[in-house]
């Protein structure tokens, strides 16, 4: 079977800070993924697994309609859906107490649209640039960096001539750059420090380091967020499109 879109995974890096202090980036976190999709409106998360063995706690962190960041922890109940009690305007992170045994689905509202899927053995998902804010009007622009990895999850086939392009950026807040080596481990002092072992930042398309991405390999990708002074809060997620050929 050829490689399909579901074989290309956006993995987290080892360190994703939730403030502008602390080490950012590092090696690939194979059990953590970038949040698949965001809520379209305020809703209660609905969670269900396809395995009765999934009974571990899931902690959901998000923003309420008031703008306050809040959390709720409930146990997954196997194949029985669990509706969380808090209504989140957006999801910031999802953390399982132990890796998924089956496939766990997080939906927007009671049996609503699927917004994230935990694959077997995964345990974390998050939105980039947690609680990142601009300075007030009259201040200065703030530039932050986060690192993710684009992995070829196919068992046997390479993604040929792979390129990465920032195709959705509604407010032109973002740019991307590729790490200079596959499966690299560069980290920076904090998320306002720029990485050094990367290509030039831009919208792309950017080529994979070795042109092709072989099974199990991952291309490090740094995302740069630039918030002008006075920028208002918004659900403003960049979309990176992966293009490749397959045998």
Please report, for the chain, the start and end positions of each structural domain, with discontinuous segments joined by +.
5-9+25-30+130-245, 45-126
Averaged over 10-35, what is the pLDDT?
Answer: 97
Per-residue pLDDT, 56: 98
pLDDT tens sequence across 72-111: 999 999 999 999 999 999 999 999 999 999 999 999 999 9
Residue 1 has pLDDT above 80, yes or no: no
CA 195, 141, 149, 70 torsion-angle sign: positive
Rounded to whole angstroms, how far apart are CA atoms 195 and 186? 8
Contact 31, 99 (CB under 8 A): yes
Which residues touch 2 (CB under 8 Å, ≥6 apart)? 157, 246, 247
Per-residue pLDDT, 68: 95
Residue 175 has pLDDT above 90, yes or no: yes
Q: How many other β-carbons are positioned within 10 Å of the β-carbon of residue 188?
A: 18
Contact 59, 51 (CB under 8 A): no
Averaged over 157-175, what is the pLDDT?
Answer: 93
**Residue 15 — very low, low, confident or very high, per pLDDT cuts 50/70/90?**
very high
CA 124, 116, 12, 160 torsion-angle sign: positive
Averaged over 187-196, what is the pLDDT?
Answer: 98
Q: Name the residue with tokens 């077997």.
A: 120
């Amino acid at each position: 079977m050829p490689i399909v879109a579901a074989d290309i995974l956006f993995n987290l890096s080892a360190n994703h800070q939730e403030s502008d202090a602390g080490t950012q980036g590092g090696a690939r976190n194979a059990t953590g993924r970038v949040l698949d999709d965001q809520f379209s409106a305020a809703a209660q998360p609905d969670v269900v697994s396809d395995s009765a063995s999934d009974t571990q706690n899931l902690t959901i962190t998000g923003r309420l309609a008031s703008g306050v960041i809040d959390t709720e922890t409930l146990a997954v109940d196997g194949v029985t859906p669990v509706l969380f009690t808090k209504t989140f305007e957006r999801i910031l992170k999802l953390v399982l107490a132990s890796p998924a045994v089956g496939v766990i689905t997080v939906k927007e509202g009671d049996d609503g649209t699927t917004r994230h899927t935990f694959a077997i053995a995964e345990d974390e998902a998050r939105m980039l640039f947690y609680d990142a804010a601009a300075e007030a009007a009259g201040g200065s622009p703030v530039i932050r960096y986060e690192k993710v990895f684009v992995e070829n999850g196919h068992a046997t086939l390479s993604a040929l001539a792979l390129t990465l392009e920032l195709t959705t950026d509604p407010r032109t807040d973002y740019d991307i750059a590729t790490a200079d080596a596959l499966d690299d481990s560069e980290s920076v002092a904090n998320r306002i420090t720029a990485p050094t072992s990367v290509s030039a930042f831009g919208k792309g398309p950017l080529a994979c380091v070795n042109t092709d991405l072989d099974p199990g390999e991952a291309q490090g990708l740094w995302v740069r967020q630039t918030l002008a002074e006075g920028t208002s809060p918004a659900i403003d997620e960049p979309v990176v499109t992966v293009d490749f050929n397959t045998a």
